[in-house]
């Protein structure tokens, strides 16, 4: 039987029990993935728009994840999946690049700086109303890497619009794409 592991990398204010990560975690579990949630420790607050604070938060998160996951032998798994949100996309991509894991990636609302580490494997979700990242930058970076990008008009950094029923439709569409990616990645 194949061994599979999925690591969930939350955002700063977007923890693993918020909708995108909660449901994608359940999907990974359905496909037989062992689930591990990355722990960043206490990160600085008020990082939005402050590149210095954001970078400090990223560095601290990466250091904590590196320490907390040091006992995991990723080479013993047939499939490694990283599911990440916001600043977690930078942490997941950097960790993968640093240790050459070759993980599959699901990137929910990456911040622009994440593309310093994001490679060519995975899928990306972004809302055009996201005030943490410019749509043009996300689009250009995804195009450069050949990454599928799923844009949602007017959705914010949480992939929500403020209209609850519309937000549930958006979530369903995102989870369908997530499910499709996990299914395809798991059969490689």
Residues 93-105: pLDDT tens digits? 999 999 999 999 9
The pair of three-digit structure tokens given for residue 174, joined into one six-digit string: 């995102």
Cβ proximity of 69 and 7 under 8 Å? yes
Q: What is the model's pLDDT at position 45?
A: 80
Kindly state the helix (H) or strand (E) to which residue 104 belongs, with its residue range: strand 104-108
Chain mean position to CA 7: 9
Cβ proximity of 43 and 61 under 8 Å? yes
Strand order in the sheet with 79-85: 34-37, 4-9, 79-85, 104-108, 123-127, 149-152
Q: What is the model's pLDDT at position 44?
A: 82
Measure Cα distances from 60 to 67, 73, 74 in Å. 11, 22, 22
Q: What is the model's pLDDT at position 118?
A: 98
Q: What is the model's pLDDT at position 7?
A: 98
Please list the ranges in the chain whose pLDDT falls under 70. Answer: none
Q: What is the model's pLDDT at position 48?
A: 85
pTM, two decimal places: 0.97
Q: Where are the alpha helices (DSSP H) in the chain?
A: 19-30, 51-68, 87-99, 135-145, 164-186
Q: What is the model's pLDDT at position 67?
A: 96
């Amino acid at each position: 039987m194949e061994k599979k592991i999925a690591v969930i990398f939350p955002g700063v204010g977007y923890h693993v029990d918020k909708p995108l990560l909660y449901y994608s975690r359940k999907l990974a579990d359905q496909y037989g993935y062992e689930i591990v949630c990355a722990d960043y420790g206490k990160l600085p607050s008020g990082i939005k728009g402050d590149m210095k604070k954001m970078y400090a938060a990223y560095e601290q998160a990466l250091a904590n994840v590196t320490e907390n996951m040091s006992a995991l032998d990723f080479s013993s798994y047939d499939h490694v999946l990283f599911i990440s949100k916001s600043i977690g996309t930078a942490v997941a991509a950097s960790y993968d690049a640093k240790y050459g894991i070759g993980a599959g990636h699901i990137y929910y609302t990456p911040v622009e700086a994440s593309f310093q580490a994001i490679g060519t494997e995975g899928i990306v979700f972004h809302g055009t109303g996201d005030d943490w990242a410019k749509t043009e930058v996300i689009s250009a970076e995804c195009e450069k890497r050949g990454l599928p990008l799923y844009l949602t008009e007017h959705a914010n950094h949480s992939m929500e619009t403020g209209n609850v029923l519309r937000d549930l439709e958006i979530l369903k569409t995102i989870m369908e794409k997530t499910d499709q990616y996990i299914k395809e990645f798991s059969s490689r």
